[in-house]
C-alpha cells in the first residue's frame, strides 16, 4: 500500500468532487452559501441624484449674489417635479432626490438662516454634497459573481437589487457511521470493556460547522454484514464518513464492506501523524471517507480531507483553513519520519500569533483537542526551539478569545 503526502491525498480527493445542484432559498437562507449565478444590477443604485446632507439644494449655475429665498421642503422618500427657480433654494433632507434645476447642496450648518432667506458662505463648490445616480452601482453591471460565498454584505446588496430568493448550492448531507463492538451511544454509563461513541458527535458537529447537514447512522458492530447494512442505509446521503475499522486488524471490515457493495476504494497510508490509514471510495458515485477510530486522528483527518471536499461540494472555492506563522512558546520536537500535526493553543497578542502545544499528543486523547484550536505543522526529524516561528493551521477563531479590552484600532 502506497504512502502518500497530505497534499497528494487532498488533491486526489478534491479532483473527484463537483458542486451539488443548486436549490432555491429565501434571501436570508442564502447566508454562508454559494450562489452559482451571476447577479446583475437591474437598476442604478442610487436610482437618482440625491442629497448627501440635510441642507439646502439650489442651482449653482444661476447663482447671483449669496442670498437665496427658501421655497419648499423635500423630505427623503418624496420627489419634487417643479423646478426650483433661480434665486431660490429648497430645504432638502438626506436621501431626497435632487429636484429639477438644482445641482448643489449646502449642509444646514454651512448657511445662515435669515427669515425666509439663507445666506451662503463666500465660496460654494458646484455639485457639492450630491450623490450621483448610479455612483454606487450601474444598471447592467455584474455586482455578484457566480461562485460567490454570500456574507451579510452580499445579502444586503442582493436585497437592494430587489431579490427575495435565489439559487445556492445545496447543503451536503453526510451520513456518519461509527464502527466497533466496544461502542455505546451517549446516555449510558460505559459497561466494562465499552466506551462511548464520541466520534459521531464530533464529526456531526464538524459537518454542521462547515455548513453541511449530518445524518447519524449509529454504530455498526464489527461484522461484515452489519457494516454492509449500515453503509447501504447511508447511501441516501450525498457523502459518507465512517470511523474505525479501517486498519488491518482482524475485525476491521470497513474496506471489505465498501468493496462488497461495489465501491472503488483507494486506500492510502497518508504521511501524517496523527492519522495515517485513510480509505477514500466512490460508492454509487458518492464519496465515502473511512477515517481512523482514534478520536484525535478522526477529527484531524476530517479537517484535512473531508472538510475541504464538503466545502467544494457546496460550491466554495476557498476550501482550506488559514495557515499562519506563530511564535513557539515551548520547544517542539518531531523525531519521527512523518510530518506531525501537533495540536496547539494559539493566541493573538501584540500583532502576532503565539502557540503552545496541548501537551500529550496521543491520538486517542480527545482532551488534547478540547484545549487546542490549531495544528502546528512540524516536519519530520525537526526540533524547533522556544521563540522559533512555526506554521500553524487555525481550526477556529478562538485565538481571539481572552481579549477583553477593545482592540486598539488606528482610527
Instruction: Say how far apart CA 183 and CA 201 lie, in whole Å.
Output: 13
By CB under 6 A, residue 195 contacts ligand AMP: yes
Question: Residue 295 interacts with ligand AMP (CB under 6 A)?
Answer: yes
Q: Closest CB to Mg ion among 301 and 357?
A: 301
Q: Residue 257: which residues within 8 A CB-CB, separation 6 or more?
A: 224, 227, 228, 231
Q: How far is the CB of 304 from ligand AMP (least distance, A)?
A: 17
| Distance from C-alpha of 203 to C-alpha of 86, rounded to nearest angstrom | 72
Closest to ligand AMP by CB, 54 vs 222, is 222
Indicate whether 295 belongs to the interface with Mg ion (CB under 5 A): no
Choice between 220 and 378, CB closer to ligand AMP: 220
Distance CA 321, CA 344 (A): 15
Strand pairing category for 389-394 and 323-328? antiparallel
The partner in contact with residue 59, picked from Mg ion, ligand AMP, none with C-beta cut-offs of 5 to 8 angstroms by kind, is: none
Rule CB under 6 A: choose which of 19, 214, 274, 293 binds ligand AMP. Answer: 293
30 binds, among ligand AMP, Mg ion, none (CB under 5 to 8 A by kind): none
Could you give the CA distance from residue 22 to residue 144 in angstroms, rounded to a whole number? 16
- Nearest approach, Cβ of residue 9 and ligand AMP (Å): 18
Taking the C-alpha atoms of residue 29 and residue 24, their distance in angstroms, rounded to an integer, is 9
Residues, the chain, total? 411
Is residue 16 within 8 A of residue 287, CB to CB? The reply is: yes
For the chain, the maximum distance between any two Cα atoms, rounded to a whole number of angstroms, is: 99
Number of residues that bind ligand AMP (CB under 6 A): 18
Single out the residue of 99, 245, 275, 344 in contact with ligand AMP (rule: CB under 6 A).
245
The least CB distance from residue 354 to Mg ion, in Å, is 38
Q: Does 212 bind ligand AMP (CB under 6 A)?
A: no
Stretch that binds Mg ion, among 223-231, 244-252, 324-332, 355-363 (CB under 5 A): 244-252
**Minimum CB distance to Mg ion, residue 244 (Å):** 4
Distance of alpha carbon 289 from alpha carbon 282, whole angstroms? 9
Query: Residue 292 interacts with Mg ion (CB under 5 A)?
Result: no
Q: Does residue 244 belong to the site contacting Mg ion (CB under 5 A)?
A: yes
Distance CA 171, CA 255 (A): 27
Quick one: which of 99, 234, 245, 292 contacts Mg ion (CB under 5 A)? 245
Q: Is residue 206 at the binding interface for ligand AMP, with CB under 6 A as the rule?
A: no
- CA angle 80–81–85, rounded 5-degree value: 90
d(CA 211, CA 316): 11
Cα–Cα distance between 167 and 21 in angstroms, integer?
Answer: 9
Instruction: Decide: 191 and 206 in contact? Cβ < 8 Å.
Output: no
Q: How many other C-beta atoms lie within 10 A of the C-beta of residue 118?
A: 22
- State the minimum distance, in angstroms, from the CB of residue 243 to ligand AMP: 5
From the CA atom positions of the chain, what is the Rg in Å? 31
> Smallest distance, Å, CB 8 to ligand AMP?
22
**In whole angstroms, how close is the CB of 183 to Mg ion at the nearest point?**
8
Report residue 112 as a C-alpha cell.
Answer: 445662515
94 binds ligand AMP (CB under 6 A): no
User: Considering only 52-60, 177-185, 208-216, 308-316, which stretch makes contact with ligand AMP by CB under 6 A?
Assistant: 177-185
Q: Does 244 bind ligand AMP (CB under 6 A)?
A: yes
The one among 19, 30, 99, 180 contacting Mg ion by CB under 5 A: 180
Residues that bind ligand AMP (CB under 6 A): 178, 180, 183, 195, 197-200, 243-247, 249, 292-295
Amino acid at each position: 500500500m502506497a504512502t502518500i503526502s497530505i497534499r497528494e491525498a487532498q488533491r486526489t480527493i478534491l479532483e473527484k468532487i463537483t458542486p451539488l445542484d443548486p436549490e432555491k432559498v429565501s434571501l436570508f437562507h442564502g447566508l454562508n452559501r454559494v450562489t452559482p449565478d451571476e447577479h446583475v444590477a437591474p437598476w442604478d443604485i442610487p436610482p437618482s441624484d440625491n442629497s448627501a446632507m440635510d441642507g439646502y439644494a439650489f442651482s449653482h449655475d444661476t447663482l447671483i449674489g449669496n442670498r437665496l429665498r427658501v421655497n419648499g421642503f423635500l423630505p427623503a422618500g418624496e420627489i419634487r417635479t417643479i423646478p426650483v427657480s433661480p434665486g431660490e433654494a429648497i430645504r432638502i433632507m438626506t436621501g431626497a432626490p435632487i429636484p429639477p434645476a438644482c445641482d448643489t447642496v449646502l449642509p444646514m450648518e454651512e448657511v445662515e438662516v435669515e427669515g425666509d432667506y439663507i445666506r451662503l458662505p463666500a465660496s460654494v463648490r458646484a455639485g457639492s454634497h450630491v450623490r450621483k445616480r448610479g455612483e454606487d452601482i450601474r444598471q447592467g453591471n455584474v455586482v455578484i459573481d457566480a461562485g460567490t460565498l454570500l456574507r451579510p454584505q452580499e445579502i444586503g446588496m442582493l436585497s437592494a437589487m430587489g431579490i427575495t430568493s435565489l439559487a445556492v448550492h445545496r447543503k451536503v448531507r453526510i451520513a456518519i457511521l461509527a464502527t466497533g463492538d466496544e461502542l455505546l451511544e451517549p446516555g449510558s454509563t460505559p459497561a466494562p470493556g465499552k466506551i462511548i461513541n464520541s466520534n459521531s458527535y464530533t464529526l456531526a458537529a464538524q459537518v454542521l460547522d462547515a455548513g453541511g447537514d449530518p445524518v447519524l447512522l449509529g454504530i455498526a458492530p464489527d461484522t461484515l454484514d452489519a457494516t454492509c447494512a449500515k453503509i447501504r442505509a447511508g447511501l441516501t446521503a450525498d457523502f459518507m464518513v465512517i470511523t474505525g475499522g479501517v486498519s488491518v486488524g482482524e475485525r476491521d471490515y470497513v474496506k471489505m464492506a465498501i468493496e462488497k457493495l461495489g465501491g472503488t476504494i483507494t486506500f492510502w497510508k497518508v504521511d501524517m501523524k496523527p492519522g495515517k490509514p485513510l480509505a477514500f471510495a466512490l460508492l454509487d458515485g458518492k464519496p465515502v471517507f473511512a477515517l481512523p477510530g482514534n478520536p484525535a486522528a478522526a477529527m484531524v483527518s476530517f479537517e484535512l480531507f473531508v472538510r475541504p471536499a464538503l466545502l467544494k461540494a457546496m460550491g466554495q472555492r476557498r476550501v482550506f483553513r488559514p495557515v499562519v506563522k506563530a511564535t513557539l512558546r515551548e520547544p517542539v520536537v518531531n523525531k519521527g519520519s512523518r510530518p506531525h500535526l501537533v495540536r496547539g493553543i494559539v493566541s493573538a497578542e501584540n500583532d502576532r500569533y503565539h502557540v503552545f502545544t496541548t501537551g500529550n499528543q496521543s491520538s486517542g486523547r480527545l482532551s488534547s483537542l478540547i484545549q487546542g484550536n490549531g495544528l502546528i505543522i512540524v516536519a519530520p526529524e525537526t526540533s524547533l526551539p522556544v521563540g522559533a516561528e512555526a506554521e500553524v493551521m487555525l481550526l477556529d477563531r478562538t485565538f481571539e478569545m481572552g481579549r477583553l479590552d477593545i482592540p486598539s484600532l488606528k482610527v
